Structure 1
């Protein structure tokens, strides 16, 4: 598990909470963004990037609606704009 995901985990074996999923998706988005900058014609990866961004947006909306304190913590630790 990534370093940021470990920081946001509720307990040691936490892999499914919304906070951890957002951290993992953020890591995936960063990696795909670097890849797409290098290989501009890779359309399959760009579709995967869009899916990851949309999924992260849905999870962040859920956190904002149901767990506002957790949402603020995730935004600050992952340096996301909102």
Structure 2
């Protein structure tokens, strides 16, 4: 494998985290997903057999790191 662990590996991963603060007319939400930004296969990985075995595994990857903020005001 080329250094990309599978989802079933025992590595620690930050999944979706959310903090929300609300007042009377506004709210603030901070969120993050995959803070470690480690690339992992999210499905079935396979060898490149069509053009000869090159030692790499190919498969779909999980979404990259996401960090954001949302500010909401009520009228």
Measured against the shorter chain, the TM-score band is under 0.3
Please report the TM-score for the alignment, with normalisation by the length of structure 2: 0.24
Higher relative contact order (CA 8 A, sep 6+): 2
Higher strand share: 2
TM-score (norm 1): 0.23
